[in-house]
Structure 1
Amino acid sequence: MSTQRGLGSRRRLLLGLGAPLLLGAAGLGYAMWPEEENAEKARTDLAPLNRRFWTALGDVSDAHWLGYSIDEHESESNSARSVPSPDSRMRLVGVAHLKQGTANRIMSDPAHHFEVGPLVGPPAALKPYIPSSAGWKQSVTYDKVALEEGLDVIPSGTFRFDGIRDLVYFDYVFLYT
């Protein structure tokens, strides 16, 4: 009977020490676990957007956006190695507020015919910042003239505007040659 009593004490001691150690190790493992590889965090700095889009939009505020090299982004998702591209493709995608009345002023320009243009597949990191009830409108002609080609930049993409909230959603790819 005394051997059983000693065995029970040992079990309680091991359980008393082992459980906190096991919980601590599990917590440490969770804290050190790498984040999901494709989880991107939206940027909020305005200077790069205002430099890039100022002539088309004026100053923007309260922006949430992503900017990345498409070539690097694609190579990270593909395990096969490839020859690097001589050109660099940068994607800027996000949503921002415009100065009051800017969206309606842009959409009322008779040179551009704006039509309803819902967003299709915005990045997951931006979805919390995009109002689900926004009435997005786009114009193919506005997109063509808004960002004229520079000597070293060839843009393609789209702007979408919500006149009620003075919001702009932009999704542009710039090819640097």
Structure 2
Amino acid sequence: MGRERVGRREALALLGGLVLLPAAGGCTAGPGEGRDDAPPDRLRVRTDVEPVRRRLGKLGELSDPHWLGYPLDKSGEGERLTVPAHDQRVRLVGLARLPAGAVAATLDAAEEPFEAAGLPEVPEPLRPFLPSGADWRTSGAYDVRVLAPGPEKTVNDTADGRFFLERERDLVWFDAVFLS
């Protein structure tokens, strides 16, 4: 009986030590978690398709995205937003590939011509993913069409943004702010 208690105490002491070990700095966090040198969430380039497709489905089938998504209404740089603000503005900015020929088809079928334009305000983390010498085209009518609410629109789901298309590589640059 006494031997069993000692074994249980030892096991509890060992478990307690393991629980306290991260607090003592003996355990490293996962990639980008809890490290001082990890980029803040707003600077972490993401490559998952579904969040972009969910918000910008009218662009069509997307692949190879590189994007940032972050709340604009934060009280300080580098802070994590713990409780979502009512009517919080979220910026979704980045680059994605459309199916071969999709950009040419969009540009050629447009009722309102697309104009040549440079990309405004490219966040630093996304610059390495932009092709050099790209011929970006934009249209206010296209922006409205992509951001027009669908049948699933909710009361607080509004957006504003701009889109730029690049014919040669079938790329779309998106920069939109959603109120949700």
Structure 2 length as normaliser, TM-score? 0.69
* Partner SS for 2:44: coil
Q: 2:55 aligns with which of 28, 49, 52?
A: 52
Structure 1 residue aligned with 2:3? none
Q: 1:172 aligns with which of 151, 172, 176?
A: 176
Aligned partner letter, 2:157: V
Structure 2 residue aligned with 1:35? 37
Equivalence map 1:32-111=2 (5 Å):
34-35=36-37, 40-54=43-57, 56-72=58-74, 75-77=75-77, 86-111=86-111
Structure 2 residue aligned with 1:117? 117
**CA radius of gyration, larger in:** 1
Q: Take 1:161 and 1:172, find their aligned partners in 2: how far apart are those partners?
A: 14
CA RMSD of aligned residues (A): 2.3
| 4+ residue runs over 6 A deviation | none
Deviation at 1:105, TM superposition (A): 1.2
* Partner SS for 2:91: strand
Identity of aligned residues (%): 38
* Structure (1 or 2) with the greater helix fraction: 1
| Cα distance change of structure 1 residues 77 and 109 upon mapping to structure 2, 3 Å threshold | same
Deviation at 1:36, TM superposition (A): 6.8
Deviation at 1:37, TM superposition (A): 5.8
| Cα distance change of structure 1 residues 52 and 37 upon mapping to structure 2, 3 Å threshold | closer
Is the CA contact (8 Å cut-off) linking 1:159 and 1:170 kept in structure 2?
yes
Structure 2 residue aligned with 1:162? 166
Aligned partner letter, 1:134: A
Aligned partner letter, 2:56: F
Aligned residues: 138
Deviation at 1:114, TM superposition (A): 0.3
Structure 1 length as normaliser, TM-score? 0.70
Q: Where in structure 1 are there 5+ consecutive unaligned residues?
A: 1-31
Aligned partner letter, 2:36: P
